[in-house]
Amino acid sequence: DTGVSQDPRHKITKRGQNVTFRCDPISEHNRLYWYRQTLGQGPEFLTYFQNEAQLEKSRLLSDRFSAERPKGSFSTLEIQRTEQGDSAMYLCASSSRLADYEQYFGPGTRLTVT
Amino acid sequence: KQEVTQIPAALSVPEGENLVLNCSFTDSAIYNLQWFRQDPGKGLTSLLLIQSSQREQTSGRLNASLDKSSGRSTLYIAASQPGDSATYLCAVREGSGGSNYKLTFGKGTLLTVNP
């Protein structure tokens, strides 16, 4: 396991549809983070898990967004009833206490809502 | 609320030139500061991480400095190459005790190195 992986890498969907993204963290990393990056901006924090527990959600995460991390391994981020404003790069990162929780990022999932 | 600002927003230089990217943050109570590189449409690659107790870190042609009290960091790139062309992002991790986890990012500097 060489790094954080995300699937799919690209997703095009029509407004109103639901989409789900997956993130597989580095093995043994107990913390997992989701960020959103819109064009020309830096990534913004969305939510964070320690093992299977979701410990914080940003105000950016509306009721249409839900994230899970069953069994403290991979995580999914679902967006219901997508809107054009949801178009962005969704980045996942993971970290470990052994590395002082330095965050390692995946390649991201680019979402386009038409 | 922590705010991170990066100047300039874009920079174009000829190959071989030395250059400096700037990052400033409003709340000096940070745990560490990290510089990332992002290629178009890609994820983030960590370049250098500076702990709040450190003044600088070096990796190859890259040198990052941190002045925590003034809320500033610089990334120095020596002898720039076309392969250095990318967006460079600065991020701070807040909290003096390290218990915080969230990274706050700047908007980045888009660097173009011309052959």
**SS3 call for A97:** helix
pLDDT(B12) > 90:
yes
Which residues 58-87 of A have a C-beta within 8 angstroms of B? none
- Note the pLDDT of residue B99: 58
The beta strand positions in A1-114, using DSSP E, are 5-7, 10-13, 19-24, 31-37, 44-50, 53-57, 65-68, 75-79, 88-95, 104-105, 109-113
Q: Which residue of B has its CA nearest to A42?
A: B107
Residue B41 CB-half CA count within 13 A:
5
CB-CB neighbors (< 8 A) of B104 in chain A: 45
Contact B66, B56 (CB under 8 A): yes
Taking the C-alpha atoms of residue B77 and residue B56, their distance in angstroms, rounded to an integer, is 13
- Note the pLDDT of residue B97: 56
Pairing between β-strand A75-79 and β-strand B56-59 as defined by DSSP bridges: unpaired
Q: What is the pLDDT of residues A34-68, one digit of tens each?
A: 999 999 999 999 999 999 999 888 888 889 999 99
B43 touches A at CB < 8 Å: yes
B98 touches A at CB < 8 Å: yes
Question: Higher pLDDT residue, A101 or B71?
Answer: B71
| Beta-carbon separation of A43 and B44 below 8 A | yes
| Beta-carbon separation of A107 and B91 below 8 A | no
CB-CB neighbors (< 8 A) of B103 in chain A: 33, 35, 43, 45, 103
Assign A28 a pLDDT band (cuts: 50, 70, 90).
confident
- Note the pLDDT of residue A71: 86
